[in-house]
Structure 1
Amino acid sequence: MSYDVAFRFNQALDPSALTTLQACLHALTAAIDDCRNAGKPRDSDPAVLLLARHLGTVAEGIGPGGMQLRRACMDSIAELKRHPALVALAYKGVAYDAPAKKLFHSDGREAMKRLAEALGLARDSYDVRSNHGGIAVSGDVMLQGAELHVRLSLGCMGPGQEVLFRRVAGRHDHIGDRNHWASAHEFVQPDRFAARIRRELHLSAPSAEPARLFA
């Protein structure tokens, strides 16, 4: 059964109590919900439009101007590129945080592919897989090749030991030789980390210089 209330109209006519972004956004969201419950179009509802404009007015009075904010956004993007999310997630953890865990597995797979490229592995010589596990754990991102197994996970062995790598005898060898450990910070530097892996595991040299797939 549809219903309508006058509260959103009263707020829209006198929004003087809405002085913060959080308060404005809450009022706007509530007005949109009221329209949905009443079966009214949201995009043309006068209360919704007035509250949205008030939100913009409040936002205009906070912080620096538009160009400075755009510059700050670009600086933030550059900073994130210098400090990849995987490093931050390694310190923060992703247990019971579904969006963080999704980002961990997505970025982890891409970073694992970059490592395979830095190692000079042929595309058909390895697999990259994810095991998400339960909500209380990060799960694993794994690379399994003819000579190498690499596993990325958070929280199992403590800070600085997010990456396990070991030499194996084929793509079906899931035991392999002695485990070696590395940090997430090392993992996101693929060329340097690949050199360490080759040195410590005495891997065969790549047959040819691989074509770069990632910038």
Structure 2
Amino acid sequence: MPYDVAFRFSQALDPSALTTLPACLHALTAAIEDCRNAGKLRDSDPAVLLLARHLGAVAEAMGPADMQLRRACMDAVAELKRHPALIALAHKGVAYDAPAKTLFHADGRKAMKRLADALGLAPDSYDVRSHHGGVAVSGDVVLHGAEVQVRLSLGCMGPGQEIMYRRVAGRHDHVGEGNHWASVHELVQPERLAARIRRDLRLSAPSAVPERLFA
């Protein structure tokens, strides 16, 4: 049965105790939850609106101007592009951290596809698979082509050996020849890693890409 409580209205009328962003955000989310339980519209609830405005006022008072914050965000984006998340995750680890593990697999798949392009693999000649494993492990991301298998995982072989690659005899060969190792730092430089893999595994030369003609 829907129910309503007066506490959110009291907080909205006197929010003087809410002086930090976490406290303001907690009060706002609790008020929204109260609306849900009471069957009230959250977007027009007076307590929700007042608490949201108080959150904005607290944020406005404690930070620099919007332009400075926007510049800081743009600088952060540029820094993240210089230092891909895979490297940070490799140092931090993703065990028992579901969001970090999800990011690891998403970025790992993208990195493997970039590596496949650098190796000159045709889109229909390979597949990229994710194996998440249990909560205590990173799982792995695997690129498997007709001649090469590349596996990315964290923590199994120690720092600097997050990448395992080996020559295989087809896409159903899961044993392959001898293992070679590389670091995740090399994976984020796909052209360089691809050259090393081709050299170490004596892979066939990539198919020639037709030259683009310009008028």
Q: TM-score range by the shorter chain?
A: over 0.9
**1:88 pairs with 2:95:** no
- Shift of the alpha carbon at 1:138? 1.1
TM-score normalised by structure 1 residue count: 0.94
The equivalent residue for 2:138 is 138
Indicate if the aligned counterparts of 1:120 and 1:210 stay in contact, CA closer than 8 A: no
| CA distance in 2: counterparts of 1:38 and 1:210, whole angstroms | 65
The equivalent residue for 1:30 is 30
Q: Over residues 19-77 of structure 1, what are the superposed CA-to-partner deviations in whole Å (9 max), with x where a residue is unaligned?
A: 00001001111111111111111111111111100000000012211011111111111
Structure 1 residues 145-154 or 90-99, which shifts more? 90-99
| CA distance in 1: counterparts of 2:117 and 2:74, whole angstroms | 29
Paired-residue identity, % = 82
| CA distance in 1: counterparts of 2:185 and 2:105, whole angstroms | 16
| CA distance in 1: counterparts of 2:41 and 2:181, whole angstroms | 57
| CA distance in 1: counterparts of 2:59 and 2:210, whole angstroms | 50
| CA distance in 2: counterparts of 1:71 and 1:121, whole angstroms | 40
Q: Secondary structure at the match of 1:33?
A: helix
- What residue ranges of structure 1 are gaps of 5+ in the alignment? none
| CA distance in 2: counterparts of 1:9 and 1:132, whole angstroms | 45
Aligned residue type for 1:185:
H
Q: Secondary structure at the match of 1:134?
A: coil
Alignment of 1:121-200 (within 5 A): 121-200=121-200
Q: Secondary structure at the match of 1:151?
A: strand
Aligned residues: 211
Indicate if the aligned counterparts of 1:93 and 1:154 stay in contact, CA closer than 8 A: yes
**TM-align CA RMSD:** 1.3
Q: Secondary structure at the match of 1:124?
A: coil
| CA distance in 2: counterparts of 1:197 and 1:21, whole angstroms | 50
| CA distance in 2: counterparts of 1:86 and 1:209, whole angstroms | 29
Aligned residue type for 1:116:
A
| CA distance in 2: counterparts of 1:40 and 1:123, whole angstroms | 52
The equivalent residue for 1:102 is 102
- What residue ranges of structure 2 are gaps of 5+ in the alignment? none
- Shift of the alpha carbon at 1:207? 2.1
TM-score normalised by structure 2 residue count: 0.94
| CA distance in 2: counterparts of 1:33 and 1:56, whole angstroms | 19
| CA distance in 1: counterparts of 2:152 and 2:31, whole angstroms | 45
- Shift of the alpha carbon at 1:198? 1.2
